[in-house]
């Protein structure tokens, strides 16, 4: 599904909802509901649905009664209530630490984005977004695990924040898993607020789900006056409980991964882990030109000279290589040393004509004092293939090659990428495992890397039995990965000290909690006249006005700092996008 298909579905969805609301109003003009079928659901303690433009809100009033029953049970279970209060007190401490970490993280992001924005980039391969071309040839000899050159590559553009934008930074097909996991993470966040409120016998006013265009969300509304009447400790628990739930979920997923429980689970379910060898192809878009060349079930072992080996399940070399621009450490476009006689035996028709010739691409020699500029149409796989008779070492200039070789660079405007894959038993059973000539193949892709990421779905597990679904571990793993990422993101973002986020309210409650530990006012201020005028708190002996000013100054300073950091990060991010960095 592409962007235009999504737009059609979204427009159709909202048009249908508004048509249904129009018909329901004509049939029940005096009813208070907005959609047909909600007449019986709009009674008290049930569901109320509101539709406005591209905003849909469903208040699940039945959950209010469930929350009230839970509050009644907590009042009878004092031991559980005390234990839960201690756990959420720990959550308050962790969330306060999270406020500091969120600000530090934002500052670190600003430094990274600034360094990227004001750094002159090295030359990177250009990409044109059009249909790619595939060149294929079988390997002639056994493969080795060592790349054919010792060139070290580095990924540029590393920064702490990675925006999850379907069709840009992640495949467009990930849109639905991204939205579903966002709803789950946010729902768990709101459950935290409701649970902590129940510990102090605070009811909820409303709760439910919303849909804004295509973005779902969950909400819980608490009576503000009841929360303000709570002690600072209770307010800290209620405010921090949402981020605390997100942190606990992230930690649980991280622990599950670090301990390798996921591998044990999938092994017992009948799947084999292949991440230490490469990335298994579990699905390919049938409209992609790669569909007829890459067998589903085979294992991609290399992209160019970059091996897709990962012993850490949190590291994804496939996505990393295909989403980040690649430069060589020298900052110079490297070429290949290729035999002169073989190069000169080809013509240069594709270099002088706009018509593409199937199976070949234009290469040019790097000129030197003794080497003129030579352009020839050469089969790229023959040069890039590590086992080809013409397989070449890399060069930065003609002096890196012998007198019998040219230092060739690609003149194609497309990125050329060698894809090496291993034919597993699930594709062609019966091939001896030591017959690498039959199992190891390679193709060369000419086109945008993003198209490979969009069209080819890979994973780290293959089924041991043919009746098991090949995409199941990848699909579940994708949901778990996004759930982990979004949980940690919600924890940090919600703790930024801003008025509309949990961080601003948490800092306010923390200052109230710290007030008893502040030094009292001078004795001459602690007089009967000040007490009668209400200028001094009789319990603490502190000036109410001075305390309020101090508290407001701290809140204003923290919020101002956060706003400045956010605006600078946004501006630098836009600069990097505009300059293609």
DSSP string, 164-221: --BTTTB-GGGHHHHHHHHHHHHHHHHHHHHHHHHHTTPPPSEEEEEEETTEEEEEEE
Q: How far apart are CA 481 and CA 111, in angstroms?
A: 27
Residue 488 has pLDDT above 60, yes or no: yes
To which H or E segment does residue 56 belong? strand 55-60
Over range 29-50, report the average pLDDT.
54
Q: How far apart are CA 230 and CA 220, in angstroms?
A: 18
Structure tokens belonging to residue 299:
């294992």
Nearest to 481 by CA among 177, 242, 270, 187: 177
Q: Are 49 and 57 in contact (CB under 8 A)?
A: yes
Please state which of the ranges 20-34, 170-184, 553-567 shows the lowest mean pLDDT: 20-34
Q: What is the DSSP letter of 290?
A: G
Local confidence band at 361 (pLDDT 50, 70, 90 cut-offs): confident
Query: Best-predicted range by mean pLDDT among 87-91, 323-327, 555-559?
Result: 87-91
To 10 degrees, what angle do helices 78-117 and 232-258 make? 70
Q: Are 238 and 227 in contact (CB under 8 A)?
A: yes
Q: What pLDDT sits at residue 349? A: 83
- Measured from the Cβ of residue 200, the count of other Cβ atoms closer than 10 Å reads 20
Please state which of the ranges 75-79, 395-399, 462-466 shows the lowest mean pLDDT: 395-399
Greater model confidence, 26 or 160: 26
Greater model confidence, 271 or 408: 271
Over the chain, what is the mean pLDDT?
79
Please provide the DSSP assignment of 519-565 as one string: PPPPTTTS-HHHHHHT-B-TTT--BHHHHHHHHHHHHHHHHHHHHHH
Over range 181-203, report the average pLDDT.
95
Q: How far apart are CA 207 and CA 195, in angstroms?
A: 13
Q: How far apart are CA 486 and CA 247, in angstroms?
A: 10
Residue 74 has pLDDT above 60, yes or no: yes
Over range 283-298, report the average pLDDT.
88
Tell me the sheet residues that pair with 462.
Answer: 272
Q: What pLDDT sits at residue 34? A: 46
Residue 469 has pLDDT above 90, yes or no: yes
In the numeric block, the tokens 């035999």 are attached to: 339
To which H or E segment does residue 421 belong? strand 416-422
Q: Are 57 and 210 in contact (CB under 8 A)?
A: yes
Q: What pLDDT sits at residue 29? A: 61
Using a pLDDT cut of 70, give the percent of the chain over it: 75
Nearest to 457 by CA among 267, 316, 324, 315: 316
Greater model confidence, 334 or 197: 197
Under DSSP, is residue 227 helix (H, G, I), strand (E, B) or coil? helix
Tell me the sheet residues that pair with 272.
Answer: 462
Q: Are 270 and 465 in contact (CB under 8 A)?
A: yes
Over range 284-296, report the average pLDDT.
88
Structure tokens belonging to residue 511:
């200052």
Please provide the DSSP assignment of 302-326 as one string: EETTEE---SSTT--HHHHHHHS-E
Q: What pLDDT sits at residue 204? A: 92
Q: How far apart are CA 323 and CA 562, in angstroms?
A: 30
Over range 331-343, report the average pLDDT.
77
The total number of residues written for the chain in this structure = 581
| Helix (H), strand (E) counts: the chain | 17, 20
Structure tokens belonging to residue 479:
């949901």
Q: Are 71 and 37 in contact (CB under 8 A)?
A: no
Tell me the sheet residues that pair with 376.
Answer: 363
Nearest to 418 by CA among 445, 397, 439: 445
Phi and psi dihedrals of 443, rounded to 5?
-135, 165
Residue 21 has pLDDT above 70, yes or no: yes
Give the CA distances from residue 24 to residues 39, 40, 405, in Å, rounded to whole numbers and listed in that order.
9, 13, 79
Structure tokens belonging to residue 180:
């579903």
Over range 118-133, report the average pLDDT.
44
In the numeric block, the tokens 């003794």 are attached to: 370
Greater model confidence, 149 or 442: 442
Q: Are 329 and 152 in contact (CB under 8 A)?
A: yes
Using a pLDDT cut of 90, give the percent of the chain over it: 34
Q: How far apart are CA 304 and CA 322, in angstroms?
A: 11
Q: What pLDDT sits at residue 49? A: 87
pTM of the model as a whole: 0.74
Q: Exposed (0-12), middle (13-18) or buried (19+): which is 186, by Cβ within 10 Å?
A: buried
Structure tokens belonging to residue 227:
């929360």
To which H or E segment does residue 417 belong? strand 416-422
Q: What is the dihedral of CA 331, 332, 336, 342, to 10 degrees?
A: 170
Nearest to 180 by CA among 439, 486, 398: 486
């Amino acid at each position: 599904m592409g962007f235009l298909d999504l737009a059609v579905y979204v427009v159709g969805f909202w048009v249908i909802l508004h048509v249904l609301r129009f018909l329901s109003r004509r049939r029940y003009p005096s009813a208070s509901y907005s959609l047909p079928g909600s007449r019986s659901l709009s009674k008290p303690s049930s569901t109320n649905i509101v539709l406005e433009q591209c905003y849909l809100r469903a208040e699940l009033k039945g959950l209010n009664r469930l929350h009230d029953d839970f509050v009644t049970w907590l009042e009878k279970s004092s031991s559980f209530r005390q234990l839960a209060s201690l756990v959420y007190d720990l959550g308050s401490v962790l969330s306060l630490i999270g406020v500091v970490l969120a600000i530090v993280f934002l500052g670190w992001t600003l430094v990274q984005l600034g360094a990227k924005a004001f750094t002159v980039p090295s030359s990177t391969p250009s990409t044109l977004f059009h249909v790619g071309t595939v060149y294929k040839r079988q390997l002639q000899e056994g493969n080795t695990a060592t790349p054919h050159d010792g060139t070290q590559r580095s990924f540029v553009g590393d920064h702490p924040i990675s925006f999850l934008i379907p069709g840009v930074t992640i495949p467009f097909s990930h849109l639905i898993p991204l939205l579903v996991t966002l709803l789950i993470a946010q729902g768990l966040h709101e459950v935290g607020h409701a649970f902590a409120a129940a510990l102090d016998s605070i009811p909820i006013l409303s709760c439910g789900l919303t849909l804004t265009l295509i973005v779902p969300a969950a909400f819980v509304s608490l009576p503000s006056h009841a929360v303000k009447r709570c002690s600072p400790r209770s307010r800290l628990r209620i405010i921090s409980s949402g981020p605390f739930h997100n942190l606990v979920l992230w930690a649980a997923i991280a622990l599950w991964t670090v301990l390798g429980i996921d591998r044990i689970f999938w092994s017992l379910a009948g799947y084999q882990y292949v991440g230490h060898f490469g990335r298994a192809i579990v699905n390919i878009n049938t409209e992609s030109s790669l569909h007829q060349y890459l067998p589903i079930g085979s294992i991609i072992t290399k992209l160019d000279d970059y091996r897709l080996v990962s012993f850490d399940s949190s590291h994804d070399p496939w996505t990393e290589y295909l989403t980040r621009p690649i430069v060589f450490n020298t900052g110079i476009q490297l070429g290949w040393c290729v035999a002169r006689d073989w190069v000169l035996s080809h013509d240069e028709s594709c270099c002088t004509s706009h018509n593409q010739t199937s199976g070949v691409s234009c290469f040019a020699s790097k000129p030197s004092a003794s080497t003129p500029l030579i352009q020839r149409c050469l089969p790229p796989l023959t040069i890039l293939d590590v086992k080809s008779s013409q397989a070449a070492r890399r060069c930065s200039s003609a002096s890196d090659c012998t007198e019998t070789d040219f230092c060739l660079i690609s003149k194609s405007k497309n990125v050329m990428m060698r894809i090496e894959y291993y034919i597993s038993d699930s594709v062609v059973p019966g091939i001896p495992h030591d017959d690498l000539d039959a199992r190891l193949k390679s193709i060369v892709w000419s086109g945008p890397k993003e198209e490979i990421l969009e069209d080819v779905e890979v994973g780290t597990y293959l089924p041991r039995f043919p009746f098991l679904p090949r995409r199941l571990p990848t699909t579940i793993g994708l949901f778990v990965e996004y759930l982990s990422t979004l949980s940690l993101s919600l924890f940090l973002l919600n703790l930024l000290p801003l008025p509309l986020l949990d961080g601003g309210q948490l800092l306010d409650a923390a200052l109230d909690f710290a007030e008893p530990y502040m030094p009292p006012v001078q004795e001459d201020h602690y007089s009967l006249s000040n007490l009668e005028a209400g200028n001094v708190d009789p319990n603490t002996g502190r000036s109410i006005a001075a305390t309020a000013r101090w508290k407001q100054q701290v809140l204003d300073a923290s919020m101002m700092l956060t706003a400045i950091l956010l605006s600078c990060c946004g501006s630098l991010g836009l600069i990097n996008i505009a300059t293609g960095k």
